[in-house]
């Protein structure tokens, strides 16, 4: 990402949180008052109090300075709270980008980005806001104090302070470039050592010590050169601090006789020295060390966490090679897919073939731990098959094209601190129009939660939401995405059956949408057009009715669902599963009934009395 794009995104981030920025500036005004009083009050105490023989007045002015310090400390405490309101949303945004790169695009560096680099960005951004804000408001208070004491003091303090700030600003860009070069050299060395160290015995056995040592030594030399270059560009920071912070103090002392002869009082001179030593010099030191180190590191880390977006293709230009086909590619296709958690482990999927057409609705069922979530992880690109091919809308998985065409909603829904609209529009490149957002909330069933929270602009506290409310937010977010294939991995497990049905029907009715749902209730399987039954190497595929008649696995599963959900059902329950089988039991000759021990199923014509299941008149 270029520096211009980084600045543009930074300004957009601050504009979207202008209320927080306003509060931050408001509390910082108290620090401006403190910086003003730190020189003005001692000057008045000396001139109007002690030198004039009015000791009580002098002590009163010193008391005013003490009150200013206390009030400033209170404002500083509120400043930290406002800074946290800026920093945490930035961290959430960066985590979102890292997850998008790592999960959707199979970026192997995502773990480092999620742990180390995001925390570096979070801490350095907080430090950057604090030191830059402190310098601006402290300098404003100190310069206003100098002007109120004697305007001529600005001629002594102002020019060197401005020169020091300009010198420091000029060194920021080359410093950031060398900081980035050092980080790259350090990462290259770490990657090389991570490869070499585990293979030291093989290197020795092959006699390749000299070659490996030469290659590694070259990387060490690059890091050393980068570190030296970075250290050399630390010199301008020291010079800027000397010119902007130390030189005004020297000039005040050198020009003291001239100032006193030009109507500058001893108190005003003392106040000017206080402004330089107690306000300007500490603020400039914090700015130079904080912005010089943290600022350059922040710029580097942000460029690495938020890489430039690929340019959009020109109008009418083909985005990829096309072939002359008469039928669109299926929404999901698995060809002879095998996957196992380890070379010696039993395969969870064994040569699985599966095709889900565009607009299809598939329910995946099976016992716990049989591989249903593994299947969705393979489709999402989170796992790679040991053999076989997975494609989404004709694009290989993993890959960026396939990632853009599918959305995965897991059991544990992710909700971040921010507005409800920001959470719901997370998977959209641009803000979602409010009318579309409200329509999606109504379709999925989020409207009662939305109204209770106070509308789309309400700020969410993830810890204050129930598990079901978080799932509704995640489901509506996925519904609003442009991805045609939706993968719901038990994403409705915390919803009641009515809310689950509403959400699933909404996804099934999306124009051009395809739904794959890992079912945990019988009703989900009954609503689906097709059902995939998984049980290790044994799989079955078909409609609900066909599987009831032809798959013992599915009949066992249906019986377990019915027994777990309603152990004492009345005859002819809503799912068409009778609770007890016996002689003369009423039925329609088609549905499965329970008979014998819990979980054992029998089909029509196989009842305990040897009779058949037929409707009684």
- The secondary element (H helix, E strand) that includes residue 534 is strand 530-535
pLDDT over 80 at 526, yes or no: yes
- The secondary element (H helix, E strand) that includes residue 541 is strand 538-542
Q: Assess contact for 271 and 145: CB atoms under 8 A.
A: yes
pLDDT over 60 at 594, yes or no: no
pLDDT over 60 at 471, yes or no: yes
Q: Which domains occur in the chain, in start order?
A: 3-305 (1.20.1560.10), 356-539 (3.40.50.300), 544-602 (no CATH)
Higher pLDDT pick, 320 / 140: 140
Lowest mean pLDDT among 83-97, 124-138, 349-363: 83-97
CA 146, CA 271: separation in Å to the nearest integer?
8
Provide the mean pLDDT of the chain.
Answer: 78
pLDDT at 440: 92
Q: Assess contact for 137 and 31: CB atoms under 8 A.
A: yes
Lowest mean pLDDT among 32-36, 483-487, 545-549: 32-36
Lowest mean pLDDT among 94-103, 182-191, 564-573: 564-573
Q: What is the pTM of this model?
A: 0.44
Average the pLDDT over 183-191 and give the result.
Answer: 79
Both tokens assigned to 502: 């509403």
Distant-in-sequence, close-in-space partners of 409: CB < 8 Å, separation ≥ 6: 471, 474, 475, 478, 486, 487, 488, 489, 491
Give the confidence band of 115 by pLDDT, cuts at 50, 70, 90: low
Average the pLDDT over 242-258 and give the result.
Answer: 91
Average the pLDDT over 510-514 and give the result.
Answer: 87
pLDDT at 254: 93
pLDDT at 446: 93
pLDDT over 80 at 540, yes or no: yes
Distances 49 to 42, 46, 52, 202, 568 between C-alpha atoms, Å: 10, 5, 5, 83, 92
Lowest mean pLDDT among 49-53, 172-176, 478-482: 172-176
Other Cβ atoms within 10 Å of 284 Cβ, number: 26
Lowest mean pLDDT among 16-25, 111-120, 402-411: 111-120
């Amino acid at each position: 990402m270029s520096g211009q794009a980084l600045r543009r995104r930074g300004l957009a981030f601050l504009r979207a949180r202008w209320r927080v920025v306003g509060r931050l500036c408001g509390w910082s005004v108290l620090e401006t008052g403190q910086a003003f009083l730190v020189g003005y009050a001692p000057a008045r105490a000396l001139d109007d109090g002690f030198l004039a023989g009015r000791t009580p007045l002098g002590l009163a002015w010193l008391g005013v300075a003490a009150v200013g310090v206390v009030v400033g400390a209170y404002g500083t405490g509120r400043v930290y709270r406002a800074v946290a309101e800026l920093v945490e949303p930035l961290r959430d945004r960066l985590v979102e980008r890292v997850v998008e790169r790592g999960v959707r695009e199979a970026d192997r560096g995502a773990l480092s980005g999620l742990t180390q680099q995001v925390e570096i960005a979070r801490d350095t951004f907080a430090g950057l806001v604090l030191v830059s804000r402190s310098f601006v408001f402290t300098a404003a208070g100190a310069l206003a104090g100098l002007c109120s004491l004697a305007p001529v003091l600005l001629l002594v303090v102002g020019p060197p302070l401005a020169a020091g700030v300009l010198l420091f600003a000029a060194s920021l860009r080359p410093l950031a470039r060398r900081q980035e070069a050092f980080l790259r050299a350090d990462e290259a060395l770490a990657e090389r050592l991570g490869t070499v160290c585990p293979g030291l015995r093989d290197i020795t056995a092959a006699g390749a010590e000299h070659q490996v040592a030469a290659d590694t030594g070259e990387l060490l030399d690059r890091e050393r050169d980068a570190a030296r270059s970075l250290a050399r560009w630390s010199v301008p920071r020291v010079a800027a601090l000397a010119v902007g912070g130390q030189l005004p103090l020297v000039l005040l002392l050198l020009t003291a006789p001239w100032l006193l002869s030009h109507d500058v009082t001893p108190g005003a001179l003392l106040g000017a020295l206080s402004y330089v030593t107690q306000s300007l010099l500490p603020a400039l030191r914090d700015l130079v060390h904080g912005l010089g180190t943290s600022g350059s590191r922040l710029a580097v880390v942000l460029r690495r966490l938020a890489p430039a977006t690929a340019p959009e293709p020109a109008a009418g230009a083909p985005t990829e090679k096309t072939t002359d086909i008469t039928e669109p590619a299926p929404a999901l296709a698995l060809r002879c897919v095998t996957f196992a958690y380890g070379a010696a482990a039993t395969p969870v999927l064994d040569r699985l073939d599966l095709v889900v057409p565009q607009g299809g609705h598939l329910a995946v069922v099976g016992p716990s731990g049989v591989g249903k979530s593994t299947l969705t992880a393979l489709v999402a690109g989170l796992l790679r098959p040991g053999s076989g091919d997975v494609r989404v809308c004709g694009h290989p998985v993993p890959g960026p094209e396939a990632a853009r065409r599918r959305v995965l909603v897991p059991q544990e829904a992710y909700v971040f601190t921010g507005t409800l609209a920001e959470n719901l529009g997370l998977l959209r490149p641009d803000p979602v129009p409010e009318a579309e957002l409200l329509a999606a909330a109504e379709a999925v069933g989020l409207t009662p939660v939305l109204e209770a929270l106070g509308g789309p602009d309400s700020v969410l506290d993830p810890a204050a939401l129930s598990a079901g409310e978080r799932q509704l937010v995640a489901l509506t977010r996925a519904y609003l995405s442009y991805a045609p294939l939706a993968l719901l991995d038990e994403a409705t497990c915390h919803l009641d059956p009515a809310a689950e049905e509403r959400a699933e029907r909404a996804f099934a009715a999306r124009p051009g949408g395809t739904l794959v749902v890992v079912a945990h209730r019988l009703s989900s399987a009954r609503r689906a057009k097709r059902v995939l039954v998984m049980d290790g190497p044994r799989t079955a595929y078909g409609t609900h009715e066909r599987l009831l008649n032809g798959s013992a696995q599915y009949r066992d599963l249906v019986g377990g669902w019915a027994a777990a959900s309603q152990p004492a059902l009345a005859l002819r329950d809503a799912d068409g599963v009778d609770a007890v089988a016996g002689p003369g039991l009423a039925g329609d000759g088609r549905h499965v009934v329970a008979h014998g021990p819990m979980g054992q199923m029998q089909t029509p014509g196989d009842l305990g009395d040897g009779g058949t299941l037929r409707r009684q008149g």
